[in-house]
Amino acid sequence: MLFKTRNFDDAPVVLEAKGLTVSLPDTKGDPKVLKSINVTIRASETVCLVGESGSGKSVTSLAIMGLLPEALKVSSGTIHLQGSDLLPLTQAQMRELRAARVAMIFQEPMTALNPVLRVGDQIMEVMELHTSLPAAERRKRALAIMEQVHLPDVPRIFASYPHQLSGGQRQRIMIAMALVLEPVLLIADEPTTALDVTTQKQILALIDELQQDHGTAVLFITHDMGVVAEIADTVYVMKQGEIVESGAVETLLRHPQADYTRALLAAVPSLSPRAARAGADDAVLRVEKLNKVYGGGGILKKLPTAHAAKDVTFTLSRGQTLGIVGESGSGKSTVARCIMRLIDPTSGRILLDDTDIATLTRGGLRPHRQKLQVVFQDPMRSLNPRWTIADSLIEGPLNYGTSRKDALAEAARLMQVVGLPTDALARYPHQFSGGQRQRIAIARAVMMRPDVLVADEAVSALDVSVQAQVLDLLDQLQRDLGIAIVFITHDLRVAAQICDEVLVMQRGAVVEHGPAAQVLAAPAHAYTRALIDAAPGRSWDFHNFQEMRDPSHAEPA
């Protein structure tokens, strides 16, 4: 692993926050959201703020930008930008400063761009607000910065609307807007989290390159340790509004001091695939030549068709986990939804215990539903907010004739299995954290005693420590109950951690399929190689604070 080892002791300080404390003055007890944090960023330096959700990383960036929500107030401390204090500045003065000297890019480039303006005009608008350049000059500079962020066919994109661009292109536009006035500090708040890994790699390289060219200081906020390993010079680890540890990236990853940092690093799933388990022979799920074609129009009009799944074939045995990996739009969720029969496959067979469920009617499907359960990505929306946990858990068993009393007893037992108190049953979903809700969703699926569990990005919305717990829970349930799992994910680390077999999809087609150890350690297809290559921090073993020894061999856990 090649870490950045540049020395910034002589570089001028761009931003210095000292004793920065942010509190919620209107809430009882005046709780502190940031507790006296110190951050220093020098010219050309990339400082990463890492932490889990709620740790205060975004609040830090908003405080620097002067964009704190009304409920939050800086109660003490200073923020100096190139020596001048930012906190006494008025709204108007801060507005002058933003974009001109401090710029920010956000996680979701679709919502951060105005959907009804051409992107070129949006870049030019930044200059119009902050400079007195003539229109022709503004246009020239906008085209120049778009060249610099390596957008293809610049004149066409200049005249495009945001929805006509891909996610990566939109993020490049955001970066162009942020850098067009050559700010001294760029704040990037999870700028690659919503992007596919291959796109993420390009965006990270772009930020790095522009930083070299312009000498911009970068404050990079992320939850992804892999990204940190790739791009950071200096790392600050945050937890509950405090900085628990900071230091040069290599020192921090090699010799973490704080317990929290160690725990955070240990929770990062290793990219080295798990050793394949002895495969049972009894196949519970066989998918044969599954196809799904969207569109085509109706009787009145013809629409272009999209082949979202092409001849997908696989077999899943009892107690095994099959990972379906791919980037957005690869068709992995389509396959999951076809198997669940939430959508109807266009052709092919789905054999569940030798019954073809692909063509069954709604009524005919019903007896088979309980063998096939699903856990969704978004823990906020997968439970009915109006129902108690108990109501959600017993819904399925009641449908199949279990008595209410038995179902409630089983629900209480499962609550303990998934590590929640039994009194959780009487509560409502909003009273639980994302990780707890995901456990409840898993418990709801397990209530049905399914043979196959489809987990559609089931841990993607969770923090890495919570993610590790949920993966452990799935592993435990699989060992105890022999459930077969179809695990849909875009995250190769997660796939490596829990899958026996991996199926790689690209644009609806399966490009590679085999044991996890083989696919991830010695990929045969170029696309699989590109995916693995793009995984940030892939040659660092976060768990053991050292380089990966030999990625081709599975390490004992």
At 467, list the tokens. Answer: 């993610």
Nearer to another protein, 340 or 498 (CB): 340
Q: 233 near 47, Cβ under 8 Å?
A: yes
Measure Cα distances from 74 to 24, 148, 375 in Å: 9, 37, 41
Select from 144-152, 219-227, 235-243, 423-431 the region that touches another protein (CB under 8 A). Answer: 423-431
Closest CA relative to residue 97, chosen from 144, 64, 137: 64
Q: Applying CB under 8 A, does 527 fall inside the site for another protein? A: no
Residue 301-340 contact track with another protein, rule CB under 8 A, x = bound: ---------------------------------------x
Closer residue to another protein, CB minimum distance, 71 or 280: 71
CB 161 to another protein: min, Å: 25
Residue 388 Cβ, how far from another protein at the closest point, in Å?
7
- Give the burial string for 236-267 (b: 16+ CB within 10 Å, else e): bbbbebbbbbbbbbbbbbeebeeebbeebbeb
Decide: 454 and 486 in contact? Cβ < 8 Å. yes
* Closest distance to another protein from the beta carbon of 312 (Å): 20
Number of residues in contact with another protein, rule: CB under 8 A?
34
Q: How far is the CB of 42 from another protein (least distance, A)?
A: 39
Of 55-63, 108-116, 235-243, 429-437, which part binds another protein (CB under 8 A)?
Answer: 429-437
Give me the least distance between CB of 336 and another protein, in Å please: 11
Name residue 541's beta-bridge partners: 546
Residue whose CB is less far from another protein, 123 or 483: 483
Shortest distance in whole angstroms from residue 395 CB to another protein: 5
54, 96, 242, 428: which one binds another protein (CB under 8 A): 428
**How far apart (Å, rounded) are the C-alpha atoms in residues 240 and 53?**
9
Q: Report the nearest approach of another protein to the CB of residue 461 (Å).
A: 11
Kindly state whether residue 430 participates in binding another protein, applying the rule CB under 8 A: yes
Residue whose CB is less far from another protein, 86 or 394: 394
Q: Kindly write down the DSSP assignment for every residue of 136-203, as one continuous string.
A: HHHHHHHHHHHHHTT-SSHHHHHT--GGGS-HHHHHHHHHHHHHTT--SEEEEESTTTTS-HHHHHHH
Q: What single DSSP character describes residue 11?
A: S
Q: Does 342 bind another protein (CB under 8 A)?
A: yes
CB of 291 to another protein, least distance (A): 21
Q: Around 16, how many Cα atoms within 13 Å sit in the side-chain half-sphere?
A: 9
Contact 183, 102 (CB under 8 A): yes
DSSP symbol at 378? -
Burial class (CB in 10 A: 0-12, 13-18, 19+), 281: exposed
Instruction: Using the minimum distance from each CB to another protein, give the nearer residue, 115 or 385.
Output: 385
Asked if 306 contacts 335 with a C-beta cutoff of 8 angstroms, the reply is: no
Q: Closer CB to another protein, residue 65 or residue 441?
A: 441
At closest approach, how far in Å is the CB of 365 from another protein?
9
The percent of the chain in helix, strand and coil, each rounded to the nearest 5, is 40, 25, 35
Q: Nearest approach, Cβ of 392 to another protein (angstroms)?
A: 8
Binding mask 343-362 for another protein (x = CB under 8 A): -------------------x
Residues 362-401 that bind another protein (CB under 8 A): 362, 366, 369-370, 372-374, 376-378, 381-386, 388, 392, 395-396, 399-400
- Residue 426 vs 524, nearer CB to another protein: 426
Measured CA to CA, the distance from residue 247 to residue 250 in angstroms comes to 8
Q: How far is CA 16 from its chain centroid? A: 30
Cα dist from 164 to 116, 117, 118, whole Å: 11, 12, 10
Q: Tell me the one-letter amino acid at 32.
A: K
Q: Report the residue from 432, 487, 540, 542 that binds another protein according to the rule CB under 8 A.
A: 432
Kindly write out the interface string for residues 447-486 of this chain, putting x where it contacts another protein by CB under 8 A and - elsewhere.
-x--------------------------------------
Nearest CB to another protein, comparing residues 8 and 376: 376
Helix (H/G/I), strand (E/B), else coil: 347: strand
* The binder of another protein chosen from 38, 422, 431, 544 (CB under 8 A): 431
Closest CB 437 distance from another protein, rounded Å:
11
Question: What distance in Å separates the CA atoms of residue 494 and residue 554, rounded to the nearest whole number?
Answer: 14
205 or 426: CB nearest another protein: 426
Joined together, the tokens standing for residue 156 give: 């066409």
Under 8 Å between Cβ of 291 and 515: no
Nearer to another protein, 246 or 373 (CB): 373
Q: In the complex with another protein, which residue's Cβ is closer, 74 or 424?
A: 424
Nearest approach in angstroms of CB 127 to another protein is 34
For the CA atoms of 150, 155, 161, 162, the dihedral, rounded to the nearest 10 degrees, stands at 0
Tell me which of 426, 522, 524, 526 binds another protein, using CB under 8 A.
Answer: 426
Residues 6+ apart with CB under 8 A from 435: 379, 462, 463, 466, 469, 470
How many C-alpha atoms does 228 have within 13 Å on its Cβ side? 28
Residue 255 binds another protein, judged by CB under 8 A: no
Integer Cα distance of 293 and 314 in angstroms? 19
Nearest distance, CB of residue 28 and another protein, angstroms: 14
Strand order in the sheet with 102-105: 102-105, 185-189, 217-222, 46-50, 234-239, 242-248
Q: Least distance to another protein from the beta carbon of 369, Å?
A: 4
**Per-residue x/- marks for another protein, 434-453, CB under 8 A?**
-------x--xx--x-----
Which residues ranging from 207 to 236 are in contact with another protein (CB under 8 A)? none
Residues that bind another protein (CB under 8 A): 340, 342, 362, 366, 369-370, 372-374, 376-378, 381-386, 388, 392, 395-396, 399-400, 426-428, 430-432, 441, 444-445, 448
